[in-house]
Amino acid sequence: MELKAFVEIMRPHNCILAGLVGILGAMVAIGQFPPVDKAILVFLVVFLGCSGGNTINDYFDYEIDKINRPTRPLPRGAMARKTALIYSIFLFAVGLILAYKINIQALLVAGVAYSLMVLYAWKLKPLPFIGNLVVAFLTGITPIYGAIAVEKIGFAGYLALSAFLVNVSREIMKDIEDVEGDKAEGARTLPIIWGEKKAAYLASFFAFATILSSFLPVRVGIGIGYVPILLVDALVLKAAYDILKDPRPHVAGKSQKKLKIAILLAVLSFLAGSMTSEVRL
């Protein structure tokens, strides 16, 4: 048993970003930084939920990860599967206790999100496209979660729409990237059922929809700090163009990583845009 596996299995890089997106959702909803105590609670509920989700995901993905991701903590033997199950329950439980301290709606939404993550890992992931939509939905409600904490939706809806669309695209690209391991495990993902070319078309459709959605906040007066979103759109466009031109797994891997960078830059653009709303675009 490796102690560092307890951090590694959380995939903290994703969950720190998710937690910050939760706070960002509150910020764009009320047009200013939320009360610090509320910001900390939102961050922790999202971070713990995302961490619990990644942990239970690795618990159920043990067999497929032995092929696709053999260096992850469970397939490499750094943590026992049963320990991962108990650890995920602990993370979810702490998250729910903190969600209750925000407000009752926040507790209910966290309960739904946490349940969806378990359901995804246990049953929904093998369902073609449904699994992709569930993951994208969870990333989409993350900014909405922050808005629920401050009891105002505001611009958070635009952030949620873009988060949903870009993650649908990225999840399909990740399925194209993992097609060999998924085939060996008998998974029924879109690229396996439709073929890589058609799946690439759908991934590109959602990438183009993401670009269109990124202009909506301009219409409602987001600040001049949002301008770097043009770099985000260029990155998303390149990822879509590359996978349309060549839908093979290694190209899909590069495109999905481009979308990950685009997501990070988009979060910073939304943040800068919400903090410069006095000077509208």
Ligand X SMILES: CC(C)=CCC/C(C)=C/CC/C(C)=C/CC/C(C)=C/COP(=O)(O)OP(=O)(O)O
Interface contacts to Mg ion, rule CB under 5 A: 57, 61
Contact region for ligand LD7WCAPV (CB under 6 A) — 83-91, 158-166, 176-184, 196-204? 158-166
Does the protein bind ligand X through residue 141 (CB under 6 A)? yes
Written as one letter, the residue type at 70 is P
Separation between Cα atoms, residue 15 and residue 48, nearest integer Å: 8
Distance of closest approach, residue 44 Cβ to ligand X, in angstroms: 10
3-state secondary structure of 223: strand
What tokens does 264 get?
């990070």
What tokens does 240 get?
């879509």
Q: Which of 274, 10, 11, 3 is nearest to 158 (CA)?
A: 274
Contact region for ligand LD7WCAPV (CB under 6 A) — 13-21, 93-101, 179-187, 240-248? 13-21
Does the protein bind ligand X through residue 46 (CB under 6 A)? yes
What tokens does 221 get?
């007066």
Q: Which of 117, 145, 107 is nearest to 20 (CA)?
A: 145
Does the protein bind ligand X through residue 18 (CB under 6 A)? yes
Written as one letter, the residue type at 99 is A
Residues β-bridged to residue 280 = 223
Place of tokens 């990225």: 170
In this structure, the number of other CB atoms found within 10 A of the CB of residue 180 comes to 11
Of residues 135 and 223, the one with the C-beta less far from ligand X: 135
Per-residue x/- mask for ligand X, residues 105 to 124, rule CB under 6 A? -----x--x---x--x----
In what helix (H) or strand (E) does residue 124 lie, and over which residues does it extend? none
Place of tokens 């301290």: 101
Residue pair 45/110 in contact by the 8 Å Cβ criterion: yes
Instruction: Report the residue closest to Mg ion, judged by CB.
Output: 61
Place of tokens 């590359």: 242
Of residues 18 and 27, the one with the C-beta less far from ligand LD7WCAPV: 18
* Near ligand X in 168-197, by CB under 6 A: none
Burial 22-49 (b: 16+ CB within 10 A, else e): bbbbbbbbbeeebeeebbebbbbbbbbb
Separation between Cα atoms, residue 279 and residue 18, nearest integer Å: 27
262 binds, among ligand LD7WCAPV, Mg ion, ligand X, none (CB under 5 to 8 A by kind): ligand LD7WCAPV
Q: Which residue of 139, 169, 210, 269 would you call a contact of ligand X, by CB under 6 A?
A: 139
Distance of closest approach, residue 45 Cβ to Mg ion, in angstroms: 22
Of residues 135 and 252, the one with the C-beta less far from ligand X: 135
3-state secondary structure of 154: coil
Q: Which residue of 45, 118, 134, 135 would you call a contact of ligand LD7WCAPV, by CB under 6 A?
A: 135
Distance of closest approach, residue 120 Cβ to Mg ion, in angstroms: 10
Q: Give the count of residues interacting with ligand LD7WCAPV (CB under 6 A).
A: 22
Does the protein bind ligand LD7WCAPV through residue 18 (CB under 6 A)? yes
3-state secondary structure of 227: coil
The residues that touch ligand LD7WCAPV, with contacts defined as CB under 6 A, are 11, 14, 17-18, 21, 135, 139, 142, 159, 162-163, 166-167, 174, 210, 214, 232, 260, 262-263, 266-267
